[in-house]
Amino acid sequence: MQPVERAEYEGIDYAWVMQTTFVVTILVGAPVVALLSTTVALESWGARAAFAVRVGAPIWFVTAVAVAVYARRNDAGDGGSADDDAEPEAGDDDTEPEAGGDDAGPEAGSEDGETEERDDDGETG
């Protein structure tokens, strides 16, 4: 099976910033807008929508800037690969096969290339 390809980000992962901004704005902004709306008389749906936009837009902007600053300072959104330059540990299958090596690869169903012998009952022995 081929390993899953991973994207290599240089700098900020803007997709992560946008997704995190969206989620945090909904989780934090919606309750803030709801609480602030109790102090204002909103008599029509148009007034309610305009109020939500007036209050929600600054919340979204502040959240987006805060998440972007967080991502820049902490290398957030990189999939958890904090040490990209580190050498692979023993057993990692990230390396390319050596030139002149066996191109057939390990036997199917075996990680280390050894074949397993089975008796008549199908058990390995």
The count of structural domains within the chain is 1
Percent of the chain with pLDDT over 90: 43
- 70: in domain: yes
Supply the pLDDT for residue 12: 80
Supply the pLDDT for residue 57: 94
DSSP notation for 35-73: HHHTTS---SHHHHHHHHHHHHHHHHHHHHHHHHHHHHH
- 67: in domain: yes
Report helix, strand or coil for 1: coil
- 26: in domain: yes
- 98: in domain: no
- In terms of residue numbers, what domain contains 36? 14-74
- 114: in domain: no
Supply the pLDDT for residue 14: 86
Q: What is the pLDDT of residues 17-42, one digit of tens each?
A: 999 999 999 999 999 999 999 999 99
Q: Give me the residues of the chain with pLDDT under 50, please.
A: 84-86
